[in-house]
Amino acid sequence: MTKHAIILAAGKGSRLEPQEGHKLLVEIDGRTMLQRHLANFEALGVTDVTIVVGWEHRVLESALAAASVPEGISLHTAINPAFEGNLGLSVLVGADQAMRNTSIDRPVPFWLTMSDHIYQPALFDRLAEIFAERRPEDAEAMLAVDGQIDELFDVPDATKLRVDDAGRVEEIGKRVDDFDWADTGLFWCGEGFVEALDELRRQHGDGFKTAAAVHALDRRGALWMWDIGDARWQDVDTPQARRHAEEHADWWRQ
């Protein structure tokens, strides 16, 4: 069972500009995004959660130190000083911290999500049931994808995937037309995913793209795209998105 999880919370959140200061502290229907993420990861059997911080990190670290954490989960932080860069840098910072949380000298598998994504709890109950049984043996990463295209709140801002007839990723990004799936921002990452990010950084410096690692794993048949079915999720990164999430509060209670 994967015991580690990483939450990416290093960015400024300038589009949302939450009154709480950080997106991870935003409340939807009376519960913070942090509380929701921890409950979701608890359902997956996670015992160590690393939060990657950056902008105003001392303020966020202080709030995290005072936060209520489910029994059995240890909370850690890792600072990404280059928080204005791409997400892949934060993933590597979090992966390094997750490895330090153990006595293992190589990358450990971990769940990964964005701080401002909200999910229906039932999604994690379902994932906990099928992950061990259905995960392909050669999968080095899992990406949870959503095929409910007509239900997406903000299509232009969604990260989208187009696949070929064999189910291989042809294109991934926000500006993909005629797409098949939306990226929900929920990953499972094995050692191969971290190695792919490291290799891209060696080749391209800090300007590497996380999507390129997804492509690399997919080309060698090591990416598992898991369809979340009718489960709900949403990116809460604008005031409009926050209002929409509040208007559909019943989704996040199931």
Instruction: Work out the pLDDT band at 207, boundaries 50, 70, 90.
Output: confident
Interval 148-158: pLDDT, tens: 999 999 999 99
**Domain topology for 4-149+184-253:** Spore Coat Polysaccharide Biosynthesis Protein SpsA; Chain A (3.90.550)
Distance CA 63, CA 84 (A): 21
117 has pLDDT over 90: yes
Instruction: Work out the pLDDT band at 82, boundaries 50, 70, 90.
Output: very high
Query: Picking from 5-19, 87-101, 104-118, 213-227, which range would have the lowest pLDDT averaged per residue?
Result: 5-19
Q: What is the reported pLDDT for 230?
A: 96
13 has pLDDT over 80: no
Q: What is the reported pLDDT for 104?
A: 80
pTM: 0.96
Q: What is the reported pLDDT for 16?
A: 82
1 has pLDDT over 90: no
179 has pLDDT over 90: yes
Average pLDDT, the chain: 94
Helix 210-219 to helix 87-100 angle (10° resolution) is 70
User: What residue spans define the domains of the chain?
Assistant: 4-149+184-253
Question: Which residue has 């990964």 as its token pair?
Answer: 112
Average pLDDT for 247-252? 97
Distance CA 129, CA 112 (A): 18
137 has pLDDT over 80: yes
Q: Note the maximum CA span of the chain.
A: 50
